Amino acid sequence: MNEEDLISKKELLELTGISYGQLYRWKRKNLIPEEWFVRKSAFTGQETFFPKDKILQRIERIKNMKDGLSLDELADVFSPSSNIQSMSSAQLIERNIVTSISLALFEEVAGRQETLSFDDILTVYVLQKLLQGGDMTRDEGKMLIAVMREHYGAFASKPCELALVRKMGVPLLFLAESAEQIYFDKDAKWIFRLPLAASIEELKLKLNETEA
Amino acid sequence: MERTEMSISGIGRSQGGLYSHVRLDGMVKINGDTDCLSFDSNGTLTLEGALQSEAVTVNGTATVEGRVNANRMMLDGLVTFKDQAVCHESLTANGRLSIAGGLIGEKVEIFGSLKTRGGVQCEWFHVHGGFNIGGLLNAGMIDVKLSMPSKVNEIGGDAISVKRFKKVSVLEQVVPAFSARLQAEVIEGDEIDLEYTEANIVRGNVVRIGKGCKIGRVEYKDRLIREDDATIEKAQQI
């Protein structure tokens, strides 16, 4: 990580208007992960820095959501694991979390299921998002379902991203902890890169919203 | 598996495992992780493993090698945890508590001393006595009444108050190293009220620097109240 990507604690508080008390409270509640507190020595002694884009985005989201949700509920939104373990497919459609079209495609590959685990719900959710966005064909969607079902568990709640590359019309879909440092020859074309953490947050908000 | 009771009086040894209530009087060694509903120890205890329990009560000396996870803890005497301690509701310690791996709690009350190489994280932190915290003390309410030399790397929280518990003793006038003062690198919070504290940097909204303080640099947002015999090298409103 290079220098420009970091922001000092002081600058952060000035920029966002939050207080030290709030920052430490959010840290205690795990709304801000420990890894983001980067210690460096400065002329005034030790100073704490944060990855700028990540922390600004996170604080903005906490500020927007904290009126509606308690801090503990918020902590759950940002955590990669979920307290909602599963939901029936009928409920998912009824609550408008996924559409019947994407669920049907999922069932075509995975077989019909009464209840879906959180990982499966996430798969359908991501599938739907990409199909609706027009980034992906139905056949590629089937690949996605297969990839997610087979390999997503291996990440054990660690952040990861999903990427699609096409070369001469042949799709290559993969999951990686980070697709940052992968290079292809010039005929290959990146179609999308999707960090799953953001989708997990969106999905959890939807699940929590409809539950309340 | 069913939970059974464990009760030992006198000198004894036992295996870890799953128990309902554990009651130990005397000198006891348990070798293995222990998971129980309640844990009472009077005397000397050595637990070579982790301890998981709803309620832990210790009178006397206790050493736990593994991780400690409890809802409520009441520790009187000399207690050493060689790993991390997590306490979901309240922890009260009278005497000397030493936790190598840091403490995560909700309500923490120390009458005596707390020592940890790691950090302390809780909502409510109340000390009568002193502490030595190697990492960050992060708590909502921090209320400290000092009666012995204390040290912490960093403090962060909503309301932070550090006061002296008793008058200056004779010993401390002769040997300054024994004086009840707090030493910290950085103290950051919304409302900060300090006495007898030495810190490099203090940052907060409303900051009061009281008697006996030596602060390198104060950065405050709303107000700085400063008593006459406090030393502040540099103060800056931001």
The pLDDT assigned to A44 comes to 65
Cβ of A24 under 8 Å from any chain B Cβ? yes
Cβ burial of A142 (10 Å; 0-12, 13-18, 19+) is middle
Token pair, residue A23, equals 């920052």
Cβ of A29 under 8 Å from any chain B Cβ? no
Confidence of residue B37 (pLDDT cuts 50, 70, 90): very high
Q: pLDDT tens, A38-94?
A: 888 776 667 888 888 888 888 888 888 777 777 777 777 777 666 667 788 888 888
Nearest Cβ partner for B158 among A21, A44, A46: A21
The pLDDT assigned to A37 comes to 86
Q: State ipTM.
A: 0.84
Strand A6-8 to A45-51 pairing? antiparallel
Domain residue spans in chain A?
Answer: 3-78, 86-211
Cβ of B158 under 8 Å from any chain A Cβ? yes
- A71, A29 contact by CB (below 8 A): yes
Q: pLDDT tens, A124-138?
A: 888 888 888 888 888
Chain B residues with CB under 8 Å of A21 CB are 140, 157-159, 189-190
The pLDDT assigned to A186 comes to 84
Of the two residues B33 and A71, the one the predictor is more confident about is B33
Q: Which DSSP string corresponds to A160-210?
A: -EEEEEEETTEEEEEEES--TT----TT-EEEEEEEHHHHHHHHHHHHHHH
Which of B158, B187, B218 is the best substitution to test chain A (most A C-beta atoms within 10 A)?
Answer: B158
The CATH number of the structural domain formed by A3-78 is 1.10.1660.10
The pLDDT assigned to A150 comes to 86
Mean pLDDT across the stretch B38-59?
95
Nearest Cβ partner for A28 among B138, B186, B221: B138
The pLDDT assigned to A48 comes to 85
Cβ of A40 under 8 Å from any chain B Cβ? no
Confidence of residue B204 (pLDDT cuts 50, 70, 90): very high
Nearest to A158 by CA among A172, A141, A178: A178
Mean pLDDT across the stretch A104-129?
85
Q: Among A23-27, A207-211, B24-28, B164-168, name the one with the lowest average pLDDT.
A: A207-211
The pLDDT assigned to B136 comes to 93
- A184, A165 contact by CB (below 8 A): yes
- B77, B95 contact by CB (below 8 A): yes
Cβ burial of B93 (10 Å; 0-12, 13-18, 19+) is buried
Confidence of residue A210 (pLDDT cuts 50, 70, 90): low
Highest mean pLDDT among A38-47, A179-188, B27-36, B173-182: B27-36
User: Over 60: is that where the pLDDT of B166 sits?
Assistant: yes
Whether B156 and A20 lie within 8 Å, measured CB to CB: yes
Query: A17: nearest CA in chain B?
Result: B221
User: Over 70: is that where the pLDDT of A194 sits?
Assistant: yes
Cβ of A63 under 8 Å from any chain B Cβ? no
Q: pLDDT tens, A137-157?
A: 888 888 888 888 888 888 776
Provide the residue count of chain B. 238
Task: Using alpha carbons only, give the angle B213, B219, B221 rounded to the nearest 5 degrees.
Answer: 120
Cβ of A44 under 8 Å from any chain B Cβ? yes
Whole-angstrom distance, CA of residue A90 vs CA of residue A43: 60
Q: Which residues pair with B14 in a beta bridge?
A: B30
User: Over 70: is that where the pLDDT of B112 sits?
Assistant: yes
The pLDDT assigned to B133 comes to 95
User: Over 50: is that where the pLDDT of A1 sits?
Assistant: no
- B119, B84 contact by CB (below 8 A): no
Mean pLDDT across the stretch B23-50?
95
Cβ of A21 under 8 Å from any chain B Cβ? yes
Chain B residues with CB under 8 Å of A14 CB are 238
User: Over 60: is that where the pLDDT of A212 sits?
Assistant: no
